[in-house]
Amino acid sequence: MLASGPVERIRTYCRICEAACGLVAEVQGGQVHRLLPDTEHPVSRGFVCTKGPAMLDVHRDPARLDHPEYRTGDTWKRASWADATGAIGARLAAIRARHGADAIAVYIGNPTAFNVGLSIYAAGFLAALGTRNFFNAASLDCQNKFAVAEHMFGHYVVQPIPDLDRTDFFLCLGSNPSVSQMSFVAMPRALERLKAIEERGGRCVFVNPRRTETAQVVGEQLFIRPDSDAFLLMAMLRVIFDEALESAIACRTLAHVDELRAAARRFVLSDVAAATGVPIEQIVDLARSFARAPSATAYCSTGVNMGSFGSLAFLGVQALNAVTGNLDRAGGALVPSRTLRFVTLARLLGRLRPPRPSRIGNFAPVAESLPTGILADEILTPGEGQIRALLCIAGNPLLSAPGGDRLAGALRSLELLVSVDLFRNETGALAHWSLPATDWIEREDFPLVQTGMQPEPYAQLSPAVVAPTHERRAEADILVDLARVAGLRMFRAPGLTRLLSRLPPAKIYPWVSRLLSLPTSRDPVKLPRDEPGVFLDAVPTRDGRVDVGPAAVLADVARAADRCTRDAASPAALRLIGRRQRRTHNSWMHNVPKERPGHAECRLAIHPDDAARLGVADGTRVRVQSAVGRVEVSAQLDTELMPGTVSLPHGWAQSNVNLLAGDGPAALEPLSGMARFNGIEVDVQRLGH
């Protein structure tokens, strides 16, 4: 039936990534007809990538979950919300009473970061459960940044952002801003900002095993062998220290500079050059140019995070900023003043659930969560604290976590598996219950996470554009109901519990906004820009200084230096990296035809030289084998790759990269618990004739 009546234009914003670009929804008769760029948005100014407007197709997708359902064998049957929450809540209560709080685990996926209600109420639900077994997608793509920030800056939410609008030198590792904007930076129009650096005489250097779409149109490409970024960064620091290029004034305000200097000198430049594929003269020039630039900022993203030494590499990035005097200065790496208020909120929520290490591997929680790479072990290993029930919200660990086959067996063994999501994904197909969640068109929200990541700060309390379709419900409301039925006291803090019990999730947003001193305007409101220098006067570490040589991070130097020496002597024949895609995001857009241009983007990209050596042509079916698993895909010749590198995008069931990645304690980075998806040594073999 066609909608009728006047067309209402409602301002909202995209919640697919940190950029939070402004959108305008055209609504008629209670239905959204179009999602358009908000040309009057004070920051994005009419910019939006292809994914934002495509969310309307996700909203209307006939494959969406619209009603609670439960599985009997291979058949799914519809249930009422009362029956669903009643059955799940009773089951949770029984498992908790019989086996203890740790028998119940919660996993939340990437979309949670852009869902303020779920972020806050998940913390309350976890506190009510009292379980240590909380897992999220961060340990698959960014937990290294949280782990290092905790030791270096005093709290994991402190994440310096590059001041692209004023910098003279931008060093970017493992990122492709043209395709994905920038992770941990709420910065729309990234490519435009990068071009402006060159236009004013500055320099952009992109370090990557592949010439990305960004490097094809702006800046300089510096090819590097996969999983060797930490070696390059430590070598740059060595050059800076050896040639006295550090800022003496800045270093006097930093802690453990001598320890960092000693760590950097563990890396021999000739070994680093051989291991990374970057000639010594380029390493030296890069270090000198960065240190001598009027202003400079270094940044890394998932391409670095997901390697073997993500924590050491991120320390290297931020140490470069700090020792050259570019931390908390114009044109350098800024820490927005709102971040310090965000620290207060995060500490408040963090105190609700005292941290406890994991049962398997003794991993300390990072940002209150444990590594997803041990989830299968925690389910399959008998004993006190064994996981017997899992609540999976806005996530698909079966497709995104390492060790997919083993994890599938673990999930099948659970007494209770509940999936709360937009679709019945691969994980949800194994669940006992599937509960339909709202999308961001159907819920009120404001950009909480972006608060500490905005170089151009703004605030916007976006309303629900339309009422939820069918029986979809916001995840926060689902958690409140499950806690009530299971006899759990949300938040487990008397004062906070009384306050939040009187405020339904939809009413909590203005309260949190006021706590962060943000306006609660329905229209986007630009806020005063931060002045550099505020953070260094209020660093939330114990001694008030930024720690550039924390022992917990430098403990991995010996392992990294040994690997550098081995790789210099005998580099791996082929290493696998991931790849960002312009027209899809994780698996969100896979049902949208215009965002899924055939299967070309699911192919294994391989350099023609490697392909010729292996007897592989464009379109040839190949087997990609790692030490732990294999996948079969079609090859795609790609001259933009560094020889010795192959690339496969993540999120595709038919070419599931996680089958090639190891899980379990020994496979994870020691400090952060990060899984390794980049730099995996693989063998590629042609199939058939």
CATH topology of domain 572-686: Barwin-like endoglucanases (2.40.40)
Q: Contact 61/454 with Cβ under 8 angstroms?
A: no
Closest to 675 measured CA to CA, from 457, 372, 364, 328: 372
- Region(s) of the chain under CATH 3.40.228.10: 160-334+541-554
pLDDT digits (tens, 9 = 90+) for 150-195: 999 999 999 999 999 999 999 999 999 988 778 899 888 889 999 9
Look at 211 and 517; give whichever has higher pLDDT.
Answer: 211
Q: How far apart are CA 153 and CA 132, in angstroms?
A: 25
Does residue 495 have a pLDDT over 60? no
Closest to 540 measured CA to CA, from 352, 354, 340, 349: 340
Instruction: Calculate the CA 660 to chain-centre distance.
Output: 20
Does residue 589 have a pLDDT over 80? no
Kindly give, in sequence order, each residue whose CB lies less than 8 Å from that of residue 507, ignoring residues fewer than 6 positions away.
none
Q: How large is the angle between the packed helices 475-486 and 81-99, nearest 10 degrees? A: 60
- Residue 346: the pLDDT is 80
Q: Across the chain, which distance is largest between two alpha carbons, in Å?
A: 73
Does residue 240 have a pLDDT over 90? yes
Does residue 520 have a pLDDT over 80? no
Does residue 374 have a pLDDT over 70? yes
CA distances from 381 to 359, 361, 372, 514 (A): 10, 12, 15, 45
DSSP notation for 416-467: EEEEEESS--TTGGG-SEEEEBP-TTSS-B--TGGGGS-SS-EE--BPPSSP
Instruction: Calculate the CA 476 to chain-centre distance.
Output: 21
Instruction: Calculate the CA 196 to chain-centre distance.
Output: 27
Please provide the average confidence, as pLDDT, over all residues in the chain.
Answer: 91
Strands 630-637 and 621-625: antiparallel
Look at 245 and 593; give whichever has higher pLDDT.
Answer: 245
- Residue 305: the pLDDT is 95
CATH: 3.30.70.20, 3.40.50.740, 2.170.120.30, 3.40.50.300. Which one for 69-142+350-449+469-511? 3.40.50.740
Residue 523 amino acid letter = D
- Residue 593: the pLDDT is 64
Of 179-188, 335-344, 409-418, which one has max mean pLDDT?
Answer: 409-418
Closest to 446 measured CA to CA, from 15, 152, 9: 15
Q: What is residue 299's three-state secondary structure?
A: strand
Tally DSSP H helices, then E strands, for the chain: 24, 25
- Residue 2: the pLDDT is 52
- Region(s) of the chain under CATH 3.40.50.740: 69-142+350-449+469-511
The two three-digit tokens of residue 335, written as one number: 């820490």
Q: How far apart are CA 424 and CA 185, in angstroms?
A: 30
Kindly give, in sequence order, each residue whose CB lies less than 8 Å from that of residue 26, ignoring residues fewer than 6 positions away.
7, 8, 9, 32, 33, 34, 35, 36
Does residue 421 have a pLDDT over 80? yes
Closest to 449 measured CA to CA, from 188, 174, 159: 159
Kindly give, in sequence order, each residue whose CB lies less than 8 Å from that of residue 476, ignoring residues fewer than 6 positions away.
117, 118, 120, 121, 505, 508
pLDDT digits (tens, 9 = 90+) for 41-86: 999 999 998 888 989 999 999 999 999 999 999 999 999 999 999 9
pLDDT digits (tens, 9 = 90+) for 541-583: 999 999 999 999 999 999 999 999 999 999 888 999 988 766 5
Q: Contact 301/678 with Cβ under 8 angstroms?
A: no
- Region(s) of the chain under CATH 3.30.200.210: 8-60
The two three-digit tokens of residue 618, written as one number: 């464009």
Q: How far apart are CA 288 and CA 186, in angstroms?
A: 29
List, in sequence order, every residue forming a beta bridge with 72; answer none if it has no partner: 75
CA distances from 317 to 140, 305, 311, 320, 617 (A): 20, 11, 10, 5, 38
Three-state secondary structure readout of 664-687: CHHHCCCCCCCCCCCCEECEEEEC
CATH: 3.90.1300.10, 3.30.200.210, 3.10.180.10, 2.60.120.560. Which one for 8-60? 3.30.200.210
CATH: 3.40.50.720, 3.40.50.2000, 3.40.228.10, 3.50.50.60. Which one for 160-334+541-554? 3.40.228.10
Look at 491 and 87; give whichever has higher pLDDT.
Answer: 87
Q: How far apart are CA 127 and CA 121, in angstroms?
A: 10
Helix (H) or strand (E) holding 275: helix 269-276
Residue 454 amino acid letter = Q
If phi over 0 gives left and psi between -120 and 50 gives alpha, with beta otherwise, what is residue 70?
Answer: beta
**Number of C-alpha atoms within 13 angstroms, CB side, residue 573?**
11
Kindly give, in sequence order, each residue whose CB lies less than 8 Å from that of residue 118, ignoring residues fewer than 6 positions away.
108, 112, 393, 394, 474, 475, 476, 479
Q: What is residue 379's three-state secondary structure?
A: helix
- Residue 530: the pLDDT is 81
Burial state string for 200-221 with b = 16 or more CB within 10 A and e = fewer than 16: eebbbbbbbbbbbbbbeebbeb
- Region(s) of the chain under CATH 2.40.40.20: 572-686
- Residue 370: the pLDDT is 97
Question: The whole model's pTM is what?
Answer: 0.94
Q: How far apart are CA 331 and CA 317, in angstroms?
A: 15
Q: How far apart are CA 664 and CA 642, in angstroms?
A: 30
pLDDT confidence tier of residue 1, bands split at 50, 70 and 90:
very low
